[in-house]
Structure 1
Amino acid sequence: MRLRLQLFEFEDLPWFPAVIRAGMMDYLRFMISSLRTYQPIVPLLREALHATGQQRLVELGAGAGGGTEGVVLALRRYPELRKLRVTLTDLYPQPAAWQLLQQRNAPAIDFEPAPVNALAVPPALTGFRTIFSAFHHFPPAAAEAMLADAVRQNAGIGVFEGAGKHWLEILLAWTVLPVAQLLITPFIRPFSFSRLFFTYVVPLIPLFTIWDGTVSILRMYPPGQLLALAHRADPGQRFEWQAGKVRHRWGPEVTYLIGRPRPA
């Protein structure tokens, strides 16, 4: 599917209730972590970290941190990355979810409690930048600005979307995943009565998840469009860019873009 529609997602709207957004983010984190969605990109990210000499990741648009834990723990198994750390950031910070990840994985995971604009990352937040399951939220001009900011600050960046942009995935978003959400919600931590209420009594979290999940797939950039954005963001060709898809052994795909400074 090459079609990309710039529709809206409710979680992007400033007025959207924080309790509903948090419930949706918690579900996404649980699913991504349980399914180990981003394990196929671990070798790619290891290579990029080796090439840039980095021992720190700065995750942009982290949401509830769904893509983080499994990837960081897998990377830290490599001898040269045993001291790797990741700092979670977001324009809408999720400290309750992040504190859980930090406590479980200290010192591998920490977070920035203040809002961080992915299009203008504070210079103090140094490291290789990553963005999991969130790049599609940005329209082309903003997506290009995010990449340009990484180039401007000479910070490598990896963009990862846990889907391959297929009509089948939209069908799953309307059928299998809502059922899964109803089954797993009681097991999501940290425990929240509001999450249960807005899932089972007033089912706003599942309904908004269906809409946002569908729109997420329609808004995704395929590899060719990711490369085009990168080349516009880096007219001086200061970075090396690669884009593509990698597949799980059990079927699903991850779409990626990786950019790193060219060797001096």
Structure 2
Amino acid sequence: MKLRLHLFEFEDLPWFPKVIRAGMMDYLRFMISALGTYSPIVPLLLAALRHTDQTRVLELGAGAGGGTAGVLRDLRAGGLPEARVCLTDLYPQPAAWQPLQASTPGLEFEPAPVNALAVPAGLPGFRTIFSAFHHFPPAAAEALLADAVRQRTGIGVFEGAGKHWLELLLALTVLPVAQLLITPFIRPFRLGRLFFTYVVPLIPLFTIWDGCVSILRMYPPAQLLALAHRADPTGSFSWQAGKVRHWWGPQVTYLIGVPRTEREESGKNVIQSM
């Protein structure tokens, strides 16, 4: 599916009730973590961290932190035992992050709001953004990548879908049923989550809308590369984009950019001068 429609998502709206947004994020975190959605990209992220000599991951737009603990554990098990992750978001969720921090060595978070388009220099690390890049329209998405280029820090963009019509069908049918079944098991327990799922079902309804819009908003690999090259007009970064498949079928779309080494820059200049 190459079509990209930048419709609105309720969770992006400043006035959207926090209890509903939190309920939606809790569900997303539970599903991403339970399904190991981002396991396939761990080798790519590990290679990028080694290339940039980084051990700290700065996650932008972290939401409720879905999948982060699993990715961190896989990084440590995969040969980077000193790996750490710092969660950040424009709308921080300390209540969701604190249990993750308590149960996951190396996981920390920034309690103050962090704008992914202008990350403070005091927050170093290889930048990642999971399941959130589609929230940014092209100009903002380009600015997000350009900020990483400007600060010479690597960046990885990961979306837990391959952008197919089948995924839209699943978001309309199977996933809402799954949400109704698993909500009582989501922790930490919140009475408001139960009320707005079963009594006044706003959380499932808004999740269906935002889930479908998320798929329509996603950038396919070719568009991700086009954004990256506009954000990096001098070619000071090396970029790659594509899709990797999970063992049980679903795909993850990714974009990774790392600063070129002096040797790579020299080689590029030699080629351009020939």
TM category, shorter? over 0.9
Residue of structure 2 equivalent to 1:75:
75
- For residue 241 of structure 1, the aligned residue among 239, 256, 261 is 239
SS at match of 2:15: coil
TM score, norm. by length of structure 2: 0.95
Letter in 2 for 1:29: R
SS at match of 2:239: strand
SS at match of 2:211: helix
- Matches of 1:155 and 1:8, distance apart in 2: 30
SS at match of 1:76: helix
Residue of structure 2 equivalent to 1:25:
25
- Matches of 1:92 and 1:19, distance apart in 2: 13
Paired residues for 1:195-206 under 5 Å = 195-206=193-204
Residue of structure 2 equivalent to 1:2:
2
Paired residues for 1:1-264 under 5 Å = 1-79=1-79, 81-106=80-105, 108-264=106-262
- Identical-pair percentage: 79
Return the offset for 1:249: 1.2
- For residues 100-121 of structure 1, what are the alpha-carbon distances to aligned partners after superposition, in whole Å with 9 as ceiling and x for unaligned? 1000013x10000000000000
Q: Runs ≥4 in structure 1, deviation > 6 angstroms?
A: none
Letter in 2 for 1:53: D
- Matches of 2:78 and 2:5, distance apart in 1: 39
Which consecutive residues of structure 1, in runs of 5 or more, have no partner in the other structure?
none
- For residues 200-249 of structure 1, what are the alpha-carbon distances to aligned partners after superposition, in whole Å with 9 as ceiling and x for unaligned? 00000000000000000000000000000000000010100000000011
- Matches of 2:196 and 2:59, distance apart in 1: 28
Return the offset for 1:186: 0.5
SS at match of 2:120: coil
TM score, norm. by length of structure 1: 0.99
CA RMSD of aligned residues (A): 0.5
SS at match of 2:82: coil
Return the offset for 1:78: 2.7
Return the offset for 1:148: 0.1
- Matches of 1:102 and 1:250, distance apart in 2: 29
Which consecutive residues of structure 2, in runs of 5 or more, have no partner in the other structure?
263-274
Return the offset for 1:150: 0.1
- Matches of 1:67 and 1:123, distance apart in 2: 26
- Matches of 1:8 and 1:132, distance apart in 2: 19
SS at match of 1:124: coil
- Matches of 1:24 and 1:94, distance apart in 2: 12
Bigger-Rg structure (1/2): 2
SS at match of 1:15: coil
- Matches of 2:234 and 2:137, distance apart in 1: 23
Return the offset for 1:26: 0.2
Aligned residues: 262
Letter in 2 for 1:123: A
- For residues 128-149 of structure 1, what are the alpha-carbon distances to aligned partners after superposition, in whole Å with 9 as ceiling and x for unaligned? 0000000000000000000000
